[in-house]
Amino acid sequence: MFAKADIVTIHVVLSERSRGLVGRADLARMKPTAFLVNTARGPIVDEQALLEALQQRRIAGAGLDVFSVEPLPVDHPFRKLDNLVLTPHLGYATADGLRIHYGQMVETIDAFIRGGELPRRLA
């Protein structure tokens, strides 16, 4: 997959099995025109290997909104790269999404307090 994909996105839970899941060898297989996007958890990707791949332009770029150390330190080398987009871990947040999410939580809390049937299971 790494050798053929134009964009690789990471969508797994951080666990002992997924820590370092994307490593140096995986990044080396990527095309020089490919991008890596990690919005899951920072430690899933070997950040040092990613830093080197980006600095040496072995891949076209990356997008990260999660890091091994959060918040990302001001002097972190990622901040100096022009082929890396950094955002806080808020890419999922929209006004409508938050309104729905928190509205459902209030409905569920209200139903619980009243002793009624819970309207839905929140994930």
Catalytic center residues: 41, 70, 89
Residues 6 or more apart whose Cβ sits within 8 Å of residue 57: 32, 83
- Cα-Cα end-to-end distance for the chain: 30
Structural tokens at position 65? 């909104």
CA distance 68 to 6: 24
